[in-house]
Amino acid sequence: MKSDRKDTAGRAAAGFDATGLDRRDFLKVGALGVAAGAVTGCGDPGAGQDALAGAATVPGTLTAPPDHPLAAPAIDHVRIGYVGVGGMGTAHVRNLVRIDGCAITAVCDIREAHAERAADIVEEAGHPRPALYTGGETDFERLCAEADLDLVYNATPWRWHVPICVAAMENGKHAATEVPAAYTLEDCWKLVETAERTGRHCAMMENVNYGRAELLCLSLVRQGLLGEILHAECGYLHDLRGIKFADEGEGLWRRDHSWTRNGNLYPTHGLGPVANCMDINRGDRFATLVSMSSPSRGLQEWAAANYPEGHAKRAETFALGDVNGSLIQTALGKTIYVAHDTNLPRPYDRINKVQGTRGIFQGYPDRVYIEGRSPSHRWEEAETYYDEFEHPLWQALREASIGAGHGGMDFMEDYRLVKCLREGLPLDMNVYDAAALSAVCELSEISVANGSAPVEFPDFTRGKWREWAPWPVVGA
């Protein structure tokens, strides 16, 4: 879905509020007071320290969270409506048609050709051809209202994630979305409030939670080999310059966020797996964040090198610092470093470092050191640990996942979503996880805009993190 600088929705996606304020100024002069007022009804914007303190405000309209993570009634055959079938959406469609107990019965996309392609994939897999919704950017509302569905799953540009999830839940459907689930605190709370009020699931589909190395690390943590986990480092380090400037796919909207936003815009790929290892929302929670960004150079230099004099893209300016580093401290005092680095030349990396009192796991390349087991002061290749400590999901689904996106992790996340819905189980990643991980986006922007000052996380669970059990080592 393409955002347009000239229309209101496009300006919101690009970082301008309804008054035309630049997002950087909006955050710096007290946006949190405004955002909190939009949810709670108190409109005093405040400034500086008031804005920082206001980040943790809990909307007064919420009821108490559930005593246990939501486990909705089991659904024998999950009927799915898929919204947004570009590259990632089509990959999910290809996964879902291979999973027993579900069927895609409706598809929505602003491009009819994309919807028809997805319908062909469904039909070629032996399922009835799904109904198509191609009537414009908001035709998902009609899908949510009239289609007979159990789940609405979307892989759209970021600004549509919350509207689609809310429309699904308001119409009695469960919701699943690509990452991040939201990028403002107001929208994080909107997802939580709607999920609690409607009793519907709202899942953020973080595929890296199911990566082979990430689940090996979780297996080592759960078996105590790394001791008490005290620190983690993670991030999204990916040269996206060519993708951001492309005239198709994510290039139609992703670069827009770099115009006026400056922070950690895409934290969940790195943060999801280490949050699971550190029992976030299930024994601990994110408490405070400090963030800082480097200067912005990479996108401007790439445009100058790749477009001729006078080209419109050479005139664009960007707020997004080329490298953002955010440091999170949890309620129990543990620490997490989260990096965002998408505008400079570099190989791909997510860091994936988890460190405890007895050992450490670190990615890129994957390696392990366990005191008393590993050679003294020497890394071991993580590959040597798979025979003994391979996660059960990879033991069971490795063959089935061959050919699926991102090395098979995409198939596993889709499999687990369908399994949990069919068996009436709590989801691996619920709405509170979606909100907490996504909150890093705006919290980092607030911190950067206020001189890297500390900013508090909202407690989306309202204290239930002390009671909910850690995510177990689940099987297939």
54 pLDDT more than 90: no
Over residues 246-271, mean pLDDT: 98
Over residues 394-402, mean pLDDT: 95
Q: What is the pLDDT of residues 352-366, one digit of tens each?
A: 999 999 999 999 999
pLDDT for 49 equals: 67
Over residues 31-35, mean pLDDT: 39
pLDDT for 251 equals: 97
2 pLDDT more than 80: no
pLDDT for 368 equals: 98
pLDDT for 44 equals: 42
Q: What is the pLDDT of residues 421-474, one digit of tens each?
A: 999 999 999 999 999 999 999 999 999 999 999 999 999 999 999 999 999 899
pLDDT for 42 equals: 37
pLDDT for 61 equals: 86
Query: Where residue 34 falls among pLDDT bands split at 50, 70, 90?
Result: very low
pLDDT for 50 equals: 65
pLDDT for 41 equals: 35
Q: What is the pLDDT of residues 138-167, one digit of tens each?
A: 999 999 999 999 999 999 999 999 999 999
Q: Which domains does the chain have, with CATH numbers?
A: 78-207 (3.40.50.720), 209-392+431-466 (3.30.360.10)
435: Cα within 13 Å, side-chain hemisphere: 28
369 pLDDT more than 90: yes
Confirm if 301 and 351 have CB atoms less than 8 A apart. Answer: no
106 pLDDT more than 80: yes
pLDDT for 475 equals: 87
pLDDT for 28 equals: 61
CA distance readout (Å), 19 to 25, 42, 273: 12, 18, 38
pLDDT for 22 equals: 63
Average pLDDT of the residues of the chain: 92
Give me the percent of the chain exceeding a pLDDT of 70. Answer: 89
Q: What is the pLDDT of residues 199-212, one digit of tens each?
A: 999 999 999 999 99
pLDDT for 23 equals: 61
pLDDT for 31 equals: 41
Q: Does residue 180 have a cis peptide bond before it, meaning omega lies within 30 degrees of 0? A: yes
Confirm if 126 and 118 have CB atoms less than 8 A apart. Answer: no
What's the predicted TM-score (pTM) here? 0.92
Q: What is the pLDDT of residues 444-454, one digit of tens each?
A: 999 999 999 99
Residue 191 pairs with which residues in a beta bridge? none
pLDDT for 5 equals: 35
> CA–CA separation, 232 vs 350, rounded Å?
12
pLDDT for 51 equals: 62
Structure tokens at 155: 């892989």
pLDDT for 47 equals: 52
Residue 151 pairs with which residues in a beta bridge? 80, 174
pLDDT for 14 equals: 35
Q: How close are the terminal C-alpha atoms of the chain, in Å?
A: 35
Nearest to 445 by CA among 261, 223, 244, 286: 261
Pairing, β 131-133 against β 102-108: parallel
Which of these ranges, 5-14, 183-192, 193-202, 420-429, has the smallest mean pLDDT? Answer: 5-14
254 pLDDT more than 70: yes
Structure tokens at 294: 């480097």
pLDDT for 77 equals: 98
pLDDT for 214 equals: 98
Q: Does residue 273 have a cis peptide bond before it, meaning omega lies within 30 degrees of 0? A: no
Query: Where residue 20 falls among pLDDT bands split at 50, 70, 90?
Result: very low
289 pLDDT more than 60: yes
